[in-house]
Chain A
């Protein structure tokens, strides 16, 4: 009985310690990290969060407690993060989706520009896929084809985030009016329509593109990043925005924090994230999921984010 009381007291003490303000003893983080996934369980972001949390204890000395807060295009989760204390122990596993949702919304619950970013953990590479043997199966061919006004407009399907990639590249060449951007709510539906011949081209993530590379042509990678070895082997040489001399569109996956979080905590969290992403098990699992780790620390991330936000704001009107 006494023992039970003691354990109970110890547990109470422990729980109080959890609630104590962060940074008191110089160690950071010094409590479980509330990791907010702004989507329901099971999506891409959720998978990243769960893989990362599986190795968190070794790096942080504390766990990452993944909480799904889905709804309203990710804005519910983002807003929830804004409602937490700015003590560095609540992070949001963000993606472009809640950013776009807030940009489109008339009365957004938050300003997507007002956020601290601890780290980028990945950057998507919007990849344009076309059937083999068409005049537009290569980037040069596509540009040529679109410049000739006697050709029909081309349809490109994909999710909105993904579509912004080729849309921005083509807009830089003044060709955005020669394509029809067909938005889909999921990559699967878009690929289905593409394979059925209902749309001319489809824009997808790297892992989907690798799967399609066998029987289709990979036209362009709208980001500034190179594919990894495995993807390169499957898809061959694909031009990206940088090699084409265009401004890239790099939609990030990033760790966002409350805008009032002190600088040193943002930087510390960013550094820890780097360590976490560098652990063997995380690398292995992410690799198996067909995704790439692209780490940027907080300073780099915030600069890159500013740019991608500007790009998104510039090209979103193409959909409206």
Chain B
């Protein structure tokens, strides 16, 4: 089964200073790119791809995979420090992460984000290596009908994210659906709901949307707050000195272990979401976060808990290894990043595909080794970045707000160099401010924006294939029927739970707030 010679060759290739250096460079660039709002793993890898033209196999893979891992984690750094998700997959990290930051526990939040990311990433890599072909076969079972039900199931699972005012949560979800319908019709490609603006023909992109609603919304809110709180004159000298001092509450091993449940959820959800083409790490993060929140209501995820950060971060990093599954098993990339890594492999003379294991065993083993090794580099390099950013996050808002706003503009533009994206981002900034002010939760909007168009696409594709037969479309296979039953069951259970939750909620809230206040005083 294992080609021992090839494995030795791979070890010799990977464990050279040269390769290790490129992994380190990749992770460093990745974390940096990820932490900048708007710049994603895809952009980073695409920009680095030409560099690999002249590199050897192991170094090229090291650079790209290191960058990928770093970027997926890096997004969480600015999400926690500035409430500005560096990448869309870190948006779910904002909820708890930034609340921890404002309570002076930024370092703790950043560390749990790092450890949860690396843990889930590492384990999902191992899963990928062990059962990649099997995972790929499971993914094939998901056709249009199954995917449709899966999306519906995902949306139902996220009921928990709708917050305490149900109508507002639903309003947010409907807004996501509305925004999601802007762009090309999935069957005919005819632009719809574009307000007669040609540049909306392909719809709204996730990056300007997320940057607008989260980053710009948060910064605008801060500006407004600064005006209501009495204007304080800010002297810079002292704070800059503070940047270079160490300190802040760290993370104990016990706290890390206490998140095992959330990390497991993230691992499972992320691995599954990662191997299905077209879903991506943002869905992984939100889904994992939503499930974790629902699984342990007593933990009060969403009020600034490390468990929330752990769930979201484990959920997005666990998609890293599995996105390569369809590429390695069938030669079909499941995501933009996978396509780029596929291109890098081809440039190195190893065409991805089912026969790769026979034809290029050394490349495969090198890839696997780098997948695993990259996590350790992420751990070390991520820590350095985390500390620096935790300190930057403590800069006074008077300094921070203009910088983050500037970065948001740069990010929204640089993502695709599309001038209209900046406009879109700013419009969502004001919508974000309104949502914050009126307490409309952001999560349902993002979720339906991501999932509803896919649900529609798959439903209509299914209807097209089955020539308009709804029953054949919806009940296409035992798997589809199973998923449909799960949707019904889940809706029933969560409605029941909602009612009992309501009863205890009010009492609990008061209690928790009191305990929190006490804890803060004593610490």
Touching chains A and B, CB distance < 8 Å:
yes
Which A residues lie at the B interface, using CB under 8 A? 40-43, 46-47, 50-51, 54, 67-73, 75-76, 79, 100-101, 104-109, 153, 155, 160, 180, 182-189, 191-193, 195-199, 208, 211-212, 214, 285, 288-290, 319-320
Asked if A54 and B50 make an inter-chain contact with CB atoms under 8 angstroms apart, the answer reads yes
Which one of B228-236, B266-274, B324-332, B383-391 is at the interface?
B324-332
Contacts of B420 in A (CB 8 A): 71-72, 76
Which B residues lie at the A interface, using CB under 8 A? 42-43, 45-47, 49-50, 53, 139-144, 184, 186-191, 196, 198-202, 205, 277-278, 326, 330-334, 336, 339-340, 343, 346-349, 351-355, 415-421, 457, 461, 464-465, 467
**A43 vs B416: C-alpha distance in the bound complex, in angstroms?**
12
The A/B interface has a contact count, at CB < 8 Å, of 164
Shortest C-beta distance, B179 to chain A (Å), equals 15
**Contact of B417 (CB < 8 Å), options: A47, A68, A189, A285:** A68
Asked if B189 and A183 make an inter-chain contact with CB atoms under 8 angstroms apart, the answer reads yes
**Contact of B198 (CB < 8 Å), options: A72, A160, A186:** A72
**A244 vs B473: C-alpha distance in the bound complex, in angstroms?**
36
Asked if A104 and B190 make an inter-chain contact with CB atoms under 8 angstroms apart, the answer reads yes
**Contact of B49 (CB < 8 Å), options: A50, A155, A182, A320:** A50
Asked if B278 and A41 make an inter-chain contact with CB atoms under 8 angstroms apart, the answer reads no
**Contact of B201 (CB < 8 Å), options: A41, A51, A75:** A75
**A128 vs B272: C-alpha distance in the bound complex, in angstroms?**
30
**Contact of B461 (CB < 8 Å), options: A160, A182, A195, A319:** A182
Contacts of A288 in B (CB 8 A): 346-349
Shortest C-beta distance, B305 to chain A (Å), equals 35
Asked if B188 and A320 make an inter-chain contact with CB atoms under 8 angstroms apart, the answer reads yes
Asked if B417 and A70 make an inter-chain contact with CB atoms under 8 angstroms apart, the answer reads yes
**A109 vs B194: C-alpha distance in the bound complex, in angstroms?**
14
**A106 vs B53: C-alpha distance in the bound complex, in angstroms?**
42
Contacts of A43 in B (CB 8 A): 336, 339
Smallest CB-CB A-B distances: 3 pairs: A198-B143, A41-B46, A42-B46
**Contact of B205 (CB < 8 Å), options: A68, A71, A192:** A71
Asked if B199 and A188 make an inter-chain contact with CB atoms under 8 angstroms apart, the answer reads no
A71-B420, A109-B198, A192-B332 known; A320-B190 Cβ under 8 A: yes
**Contact of B355 (CB < 8 Å), options: A106, A184, A195, A214:** A214
**A17 vs B202: C-alpha distance in the bound complex, in angstroms?**
38
**Contact of B189 (CB < 8 Å), options: A68, A104, A109, A208:** A104
**Contact of A71 (CB < 8 Å), options: B199, B334, B347:** B199
**A81 vs B55: C-alpha distance in the bound complex, in angstroms?**
33
Contacts of A191 in B (CB 8 A): 330, 332
**A193 vs B145: C-alpha distance in the bound complex, in angstroms?**
11
**A187 vs B352: C-alpha distance in the bound complex, in angstroms?**
15
A54-B53, A71-B199, A73-B202 known; A100-B144 Cβ under 8 A: no
Asked if B144 and A67 make an inter-chain contact with CB atoms under 8 angstroms apart, the answer reads no
Contacts of A214 in B (CB 8 A): 354-355
Asked if B199 and A195 make an inter-chain contact with CB atoms under 8 angstroms apart, the answer reads no
Shortest C-beta distance, B357 to chain A (Å), equals 14
Can you list 5 A-B pairs, Cβ within 8 angstroms, ordered by A? A42-B340, A76-B199, A285-B347, A290-B346, A320-B188
Asked if B351 and A192 make an inter-chain contact with CB atoms under 8 angstroms apart, the answer reads no
The residue of chain A having its C-beta at the shortest distance from the C-beta of B330 within the complex is A195
**A68 vs B355: C-alpha distance in the bound complex, in angstroms?**
34
**Contact of B418 (CB < 8 Å), options: A47, A76, A184:** A76
Asked if A42 and B339 make an inter-chain contact with CB atoms under 8 angstroms apart, the answer reads yes
**A212 vs B47: C-alpha distance in the bound complex, in angstroms?**
29
Asked if B332 and A289 make an inter-chain contact with CB atoms under 8 angstroms apart, the answer reads no
A50-B50, A182-B464, A289-B346 known; A104-B191 Cβ under 8 A: yes
**A199 vs B464: C-alpha distance in the bound complex, in angstroms?**
11
Asked if B140 and A42 make an inter-chain contact with CB atoms under 8 angstroms apart, the answer reads no
